[in-house]
Amino acid sequence: MDLKKIFSEIYDSLNDVEDAGKVADYIPELANVSPDHFGVHLVTVDGQHYDFGDSDIRFSIQSIAKVFSFVMAYSQIKSTIWERMDVEPAGTPFNSLVQLEYDKGIPRNPFINAGAIVVCDILAGELASPKDNIRSFVRDLCGNRTIDYNPLVAHSEKKTGFRNYALVNLMKSFGNIHNDIDAVMDLYFHLCSLEMSCRELSDSFLFLANNGIVPYSGKQILSPSRTKRTNALMQTCGFYDEAGQFAFKVGLPGKSGVGGGIVAVLPGKYAISVWSPRLNPKGNSFKGMLFLEEFTTRTHLSIF
Ligand code: GLU
């Protein structure tokens, strides 16, 4: 299959669709991105790369980073994650307080904000230098030592993260946050500020399409069984309260972020990343989702 040609045909067909999305501006620094960027990158487990558009420009990966922190905790930390969070789709917005109150401070899954904040609490309590350790982990996954946090984005979010502070305080009141709140939130905001390109994202997620092994280094990050479970979590919880729509339309496990990125994997075959900053009302990239829907429909390369 000529994937580059397919990318370009799909992109052209989307030109006729009005981009009804809106760039995230609730974190002020995110509003500075040019809304018309569009990039795609696909890498196969046997090392073939296909790209299109702005695939080498770094952007704020935001919630996509929750997969990295979760995998790090799941693979390296001895304490039981599953006593502190669940594995159920939330069905409510990613920063909802209502459900958390109802569930007595136990987040529904590791990919909503509350769940990722608990993962940060676990990592903050167990790693020697959590910010450095997470950054090294991500750098190793994609083989690029220049990947970094954007301190301006982390700071911007810290200044305006009232709802995230409400989540962490609510969980602390239920005894589900063990460390100092400011240390946990500093880690969380830095995690979300990681910047990567589509190419780097696809490379770093490829182990989830390869039974938990990073193809370029041969390093086993997760066992096949934990890889399966991580993919199941991405499938059911990776797209805010639109995970059902994403499964219905695209049919791949993945994760999106409010920076407009989406990364998804087809186990045994490939990882693909798309970046288009305008978001639909649920917080997923408007064009990115349309693009992936068209891609898996034309190529039959989905899990269903
Ligand atoms: N840092 C963002 C927040 O906490 C992440 C949102 C996202 O990408 O889902 O609101």
Alpha helices per DSSP H over the chain: 3-14, 65-76, 98-102, 113-126, 130-142, 151-160, 162-173, 181-192, 198-205, 224-237, 243-249, 286-299
Site to probe by mutation for ligand 1, drawn from 153, 241, 258 as the one with most ligand atoms within 8 Å of Cβ, is 258
For ligand 1, atom 7, name the residue with the nearest CA: 63
Averaged pLDDT for residues 271-296:
97
pLDDT (tens digit per residue) in 269-280: 999 999 999 999
Alpha helices per DSSP H over 161-223: 162-173, 181-192, 198-205
The answer, yes or no, to whether residue 79 has pLDDT greater than 80, is no
Domain tally for the chain? 1
* 291-to-10, 270, 288, 295 alpha-carbon distances in Å: 7, 16, 5, 6
What does the pLDDT read at residue 248?
97
- What CATH number is given to the structural domain containing 238? 3.40.710.10
**3-state secondary structure (DSSP) of residue 208:** helix
Find the residues whose C-beta lies inside 6 A of ligand 1.
Answer: 62-63, 94-95, 113, 157, 164, 192, 257-258, 283
Residue at 276 is within a domain? yes
Using 50, 70 and 90 to split pLDDT, how confident is the model at 13?
very high
The average confidence (pLDDT) of the chain is 96
pLDDT (tens digit per residue) in 211-232: 999 999 999 999 999 999 999 9
Name the pTM for this structure: 0.97
Q: How far is the CA of 238 from the centre of ligand 1 (A)?
A: 12
Using 50, 70 and 90 to split pLDDT, how confident is the model at 177?
very high
pLDDT (tens digit per residue) in 29-43: 999 999 999 999 999
The answer, yes or no, to whether residue 126 has pLDDT greater than 80, is yes
Residue at 40 is within a domain? yes
What does the pLDDT read at residue 95?
84
Q: How far is the CA of 230 from the centre of ligand 1 (A)?
A: 20
**Which residue range is the domain that position 174 belongs to?**
3-298
Residue at 204 is within a domain? yes
Residue at 79 is within a domain? yes
Residue at 171 is within a domain? yes
What does the pLDDT read at residue 18?
79
The answer, yes or no, to whether residue 94 has pLDDT greater than 90, is no
Q: How far is the CA of 184 from the centre of ligand 1 (A)?
A: 15
Using 50, 70 and 90 to split pLDDT, how confident is the model at 17?
confident
Identify the weakest region by mean pLDDT among 15-19, 58-62, 284-288. Answer: 15-19
Task: Please provide residue 20's backbone torsions phi and psi, each rounded to the nearest 5 degrees.
Answer: -80, 0
* 277-to-21, 74, 221, 230 alpha-carbon distances in Å: 8, 30, 30, 26
Length of the chain: 304
For residue 10, the number of C-alpha atoms closer than 13 Å in the C-beta half-sphere is 26
Residue at 207 is within a domain? yes
Select the more confidently predicted residue: 19 or 172: 172
What does the pLDDT read at residue 9?
97
Q: Cα(131)–Cα(122) distance, rounded to whole angstroms?
A: 13
* Residues forming the active site: 63, 66, 188, 240, 258
Residue at 113 is within a domain? yes
Burial class (CB in 10 A: 0-12, 13-18, 19+), 191: buried
**3-state secondary structure (DSSP) of residue 43:** strand
For ligand 1, atom 4, name the residue with the nearest CA: 113
Residue at 303 is within a domain? no
Which token pair is 205?
């997620």
